[in-house]
Amino acid sequence: MTPNANEVKFSPEDAEPGEVHAQFDLAMRYSTGDGVPKSWQKAAVWYQRAAAQGYALAQCNLGMCYAHGLGVAQSWPNAVHWFRAAAGQGLAKAQHNLAVCYEEAYDVERSYKDAAAWYRLAAEQGHVGAQFKLGRCYAQGMGVLQSHEQAAHWLFEAANQGAPSAFEALHTVVSRQFQDE
């Protein structure tokens, strides 16, 4: 019987020779304490090794380590670097994180236009946080032309995925739309 791919766990010996999936698995285990003592420092080392080989999930998680100072010194330049690398490979979570960097001006020049563009890429892949934030961008005209219709569309998508704030924001957008008519 073939084991479920989600249940396959690699050993540190598997990760040493550069097996990217083993490196990522080991990093995840160190970050949660699953079968090994929890250690953000060791997690960051293994994320770094997998990220250096171009593994998008590791790049994104390493970006989060740098953004929050988990196992490494907090560094927005490094966080943005790794988010950008993973986002460029189409990883929705990284696209969302990079959009937040543009919206909040974390080591990049604030650009609502760039933030909205990255939110859109992630939202189109079903990332609920990006759907909510893109809806908010359209509602407020941040980086895009204000559009109650587009705002309602993206907020509805987020609400359909259970985002509690999206329901309230959707109600506000729809109420404003009727007031404007």
Q: State in words which class domain 96-181 has.
A: mainly alpha
- What is the C-alpha to C-alpha distance for residues 169 and 174, in angstroms, rounded to an integer? 9
Q: Is the dihedral of CA 140, 146, 148, 153 positive or negative?
A: negative
pTM: 0.86
First to last CA, the chain: 63
Q: In this predicted model, what pLDDT tens digit does every residue of 17-73 receive, in sequence order?
A: 778 998 999 999 999 999 899 999 999 999 999 999 999 999 999 999 999 999 999
Measured between alpha carbons, how far is residue 53 from residues 20, 30, 59, 120, 174 in Å?
7, 19, 9, 27, 46
Residue 163: the pLDDT is: 85
Question: If you search the block for the tokens 């990079």, which residue do you land on?
Answer: 98
Decide which of 1.25.40.10, 3.40.50.920, 1.10.3720.10, 1.10.443.10 is the CATH code for 7-89: 1.25.40.10
- Model confidence at 180, in pLDDT bands (50, 70, 90)? low
Q: In this predicted model, what pLDDT tens digit does every residue of 92-113 receive, in sequence order?
A: 999 999 999 999 999 999 999 9
Q: In this predicted model, what pLDDT tens digit does every residue of 102-159 receive, in sequence order?
A: 999 999 999 999 999 999 999 999 999 999 999 999 999 999 999 999 999 999 999 9
Q: What are the phi and psi torsion angles at 2 (to 5°)?
A: -85, 130
Which part of the chain is CATH 1.25.40.10?
Answer: 7-89, 96-181
Q: What is the CA radius of gyration of the chain?
A: 19
Q: Which two tokens stand for residue 56?
A: 């998008």
Residue 2: the pLDDT is: 34
